[in-house]
Amino acid sequence: MTIKVAAIQMCSGVDPEKNVAAMARLVREAAGRGAVYVQTPEMTGAIQKDRNGLMAILRDEQNDIVVKAASVLARELKIHLHVGSTAIALDDGKIANRGFLFGPAGEKICSYDKIHMFDVDLDNGESWRESSVYRPGADARVVDLPFAKLGFAICYDVRFPALFRAEAVAGAQILTVPAAFTRQTGEAHWEILLRARAIENGAFLVAAAQAGKHEDGRETFGHSMIIDPWGRVLASAGGTGEAVVMAELDLSAVKAARDKVPNLKNARDFTLDILPVLAKGGVTV
């Protein structure tokens, strides 16, 4: 089976209504070019580093304008629409960094909460503490769609290969990494991490990204990509501004890659021994 997919690159600001309008315009473009699966980036609804400003625009899932708009778009365009993520208000005062997948009837097929929190201090002085605002998810997701099995992740999750391996073992043929990678970390690691996750799991990978300088002062790396199971970049965008990145995926390539390099089948359980150093510099055996 061959399908056409799209990754939407955005530069979301602090106003959800403007971001929804941009999302709708770009998704319609992708669908008009034949995409049956369209993915938007992490934090499609707003990129807002000021906590008070973010809390002011938050809504719960039932009332979130990104969720409502995506459902309508999916139904109107008869596509599978994957909102990479948007901020959703939770009952305990925290926030979920939550992705959504909608089907061609506008129905919500599933959601996914980002599992790994980006708590780091970068060399350029930037400091990020997602766990101070967001509640991490605890459940991985693989959904069986009419055209493929799809596995979910968000941004920083890409640095945790066990998540992707579990999804591949569960049958995922397309892995997803919607993101808002910082420019600094993106320049160093974005492409190599994406290609590694595709290669080691013999899967297609679709990564829609935020790109450019945002209203809140952040700068994201962009370079949205679609990668095949052999690690080849099928399509990519630049580092700034909006883009619609598209590729045709031949799902038979997943089986072919996994047959050539059957590492999913060949994996074995093992124990790890930590050996003490002997006095003369040797180790125990």
pLDDT in tens, 118-131: 877 767 666 667 77
The pTM of this model reads 0.94
Question: Does residue 277 belong to any structural domain of this protein?
Answer: no
Domain CATH for 176: 3.60.110.10
Pair of tokens at residue 51: 């906590």
* Number of domains comprising the chain: 1
CB 125 within 8 A of CB 82: no
Pick the catalytic residue: 11, 114, 130, 149? Answer: 114
155 noted as active-site residue: yes
Pick the catalytic residue: 42, 130, 167, 219? Answer: 42
Pick the catalytic residue: 11, 130, 149, 155? Answer: 155
pLDDT in tens, 139-178: 999 999 999 999 999 999 999 999 999 999 999 999 999 9
Question: Does residue 279 belong to any structural domain of this protein?
Answer: no
Question: Does residue 202 belong to any structural domain of this protein?
Answer: yes
CB 175 within 8 A of CB 204: yes
What is the average pLDDT value for the chain, to the nearest integer?
94
Question: Does residue 23 belong to any structural domain of this protein?
Answer: yes
User: Per DSSP, which regions of 140-242 are E strands?
Assistant: 142-144, 149-151, 174-176, 204-207, 211-213, 219-221, 225-227, 233-236
Question: Does residue 273 belong to any structural domain of this protein?
Answer: no
**Cβ count near 28 (within 10 Å):** 16
- What secondary structure does DSSP assign to 27-62, as a single string? HHHHHHTT-SEEE--TT-S-----HHHHHHH---GG
242 noted as active-site residue: no
pLDDT in tens, 101-119: 999 999 999 999 999 988 7
Length of the chain: 285
Domain range spanning residue 131?
A: 2-266
CB 174 within 8 A of CB 253: no
Question: Does residue 221 belong to any structural domain of this protein?
Answer: yes
108 noted as active-site residue: no
Question: Does residue 118 belong to any structural domain of this protein?
Answer: yes
Q: What local confidence, expressed as pLDDT, does residue 103 receive?
A: 98
Question: Does residue 283 belong to any structural domain of this protein?
Answer: no
